[in-house]
Amino acid sequence: MARSTAATRREEDPTEVDGDLEGFIGYNLKRAYVVVSTDFRRIMGKNGLAPRQFSALSLIVQFPNITQSELARKLGIERSGLVAIIDDLEGRGFVSRQPVPGDRRVQALSATTGGQAAYAEAHKMVMAHEAELLSDLSPQEVETLVGLLQRIRSKGD
Amino acid sequence: MARSTAATRREEDPTEVDGDLEGFIGYNLKRAYVVVSTDFRRIMGKNGLAPRQFSALSLIVQFPNITQSELARKLGIERSGLVAIIDDLEGRGFVSRQPVPGDRRVQALSATTGGQAAYAEAHKMVMAHEAELLSDLSPQEVETLVGLLQRIRSKGD
DNA sequence: TATTGTTATACTCTATAACTATA
DNA sequence: TATAGTTATAGAGTATAACAATA
């Protein structure tokens, strides 16, 4: 047996309480995310989009005229936290806030032509970055990983 | 086919560049970690150990008399960032810094008796928290997930 | 009364750089 | 010169609470 995980400990020796941090999902998720986000920032460059800005832009491209409240909900963050992200994307000329006829409280978000082009380019870079980070995994393993992560995510609803 | 992932996109339609954030590993890692860490803090309570303090305590229990530099290296953080973590654990009476004969620069870290007991208790709580979050996954799937995450982590060396 | 976008504020996490005392 | 621990500092990221405009 090469590795001891929380799962195998639970199966093989339920009374075992040692210091093996390596078996915990939370610890591994955090460490893996640090590796991925560090590489994301490296490949996107000094003034490139940060992960959160990329995610927001992606959803604005995918859902034109989405409102800020709806976008915050999809991203799983507070409305207040989204303001700076949209300010940044607007400052880059990638996104515009537009009034919505019939409800003057709402701002509809849409990607500009430049924002769409920037997203297409960023998307390619992120695909390349993930392909390299996941080069040791088979396409089947990548699909399995995404599925398992999404099942954990679904516990947060 | 219910889901579209980066992996299946790469296989089935390499030219596809849409806004499907859901297929990215980085995004899923982040969202899954938010779910896990939020539940970790919930189960550990208001004045309970935060994830980083739990991780540090775990390694101190596992590696008695580890130095701060070595612990920081294992945790993948800077030495400077570890100071506040150890200050906190020392303040709780869980860890002590002790001089090392032969090199007066070094502080050896060890868990007190109370710290060992607190860790054993925290460990049980974290095992229960992960068991509940992973209750939809088979033990085999949990082991697969840990293995895949560790392979991503290994790309960060 | 409730909702949208916003501001103010604070707290956590983390990194960089510089300091001290030792080696 | 180099290393261990520390301090000071700054920058992300995020949350809570409150506000104005609007519904």
Structure confidence by residue, pLDDT tens digits, A5-50: 444 444 333 333 334 899 999 999 999 999 999 999 999 998 999 9
What three-state secondary structure class fits A41?
helix
Q: Residue A54: its pLDDT value, please?
A: 98
Distance CA B71, CA B56 (A): 7
Q: Residue B13: its pLDDT value, please?
A: 37
Q: Residue B5: its pLDDT value, please?
A: 43
Contacts of A21 in chain B (CB under 8 A): 55, 58-59, 62
The strand pairing partners of B110, in sequence order, are: B96
Distance from CA of B96 to the nearest CA of A (A): 17
What three-state secondary structure class fits B96?
strand
Distance CA B22, CA A150 (A): 9
| Percent of chain A whose predicted confidence (pLDDT) is above 90 | 86
How crowded is residue B146: how many other Cβ atoms within 10 Å of its Cβ?
Answer: 23
Give the helix ranges, DSSP H, for A23-100: 25-44, 51-62, 68-75, 79-91
DSSP H/E element including A43: helix A25-44
Q: The tokens of B86 are what?
A: 């150890």
Determine the residue of chain B that is closest to A111 in CA distance: B19
Mutate which of B95, B146, B151 to test chain A, going by most A C-beta atoms within 10 A? Answer: B146
Distance CA B155, CA B111 (A): 32
| Partner B, chain A 13-72, Cβ-Cβ below 8 Å | 17-40, 51, 55, 58-59, 61-63
The strand pairing partners of B40, in sequence order, are: none
Q: Residue B11: its pLDDT value, please?
A: 38
Distance in Å from C7's C1' to A85's CA comes to 15
How crowded is residue A87: how many other Cβ atoms within 10 Å of its Cβ?
Answer: 12
B125 Cβ neighbours under 8 A, 6+ residues apart = B43, B44, B48
Distance CA A65, CA B73 (A): 46
Among all protein residues, pick the one whose CA is nearest to the C1' atom of C12.
B50
Q: Residue B157: its pLDDT value, please?
A: 83
Do B147 and A6 form a contact (C-beta atoms < 8 A)? no
Question: If you compute the radius of gyration of chain A from its CA atoms, what whole number of angstroms results?
Answer: 20
**Mean pLDDT value across residues A94-109:** 97
Distance CA A23, CA A9 (A): 9
State how far Cα B63 lies from the chain centre: 16
Q: Residue A20: its pLDDT value, please?
A: 87
**Mean pLDDT value across residues A57-77:** 98
Distance from CA of A51 to the nearest CA of B (A): 8
**Mean pLDDT value across residues A67-76:** 98
Q: What are phi and psi of A105, to 5 degrees?
A: -80, -30
pLDDT string in tens for chain B (157-residue length): 344 444 444 433 333 333 489 999 999 999 999 999 999 999 999 899 999 999 999 999 999 999 999 999 999 999 999 999 999 999 999 999 999 999 999 999 999 999 999 999 999 999 999 999 999 999 999 999 999 999 999 999 8
Distance CA A145, CA A151 (A): 10
| Percent of chain A whose predicted confidence (pLDDT) is above 70 | 88
Distance in Å from D14's C1' to A80's CA comes to 10
Distance in Å from D16's C1' to A136's CA comes to 43
Q: Residue B104: its pLDDT value, please?
A: 97
DSSP strand pairing (A66-67 vs B66-67): unpaired
Q: Give the relative orientation of helices B51-62 and B113-133 as an angle to the nearest 10 degrees.
A: 120
**Mean pLDDT value across residues A127-146:** 97
| Amino acid type, B29 | L
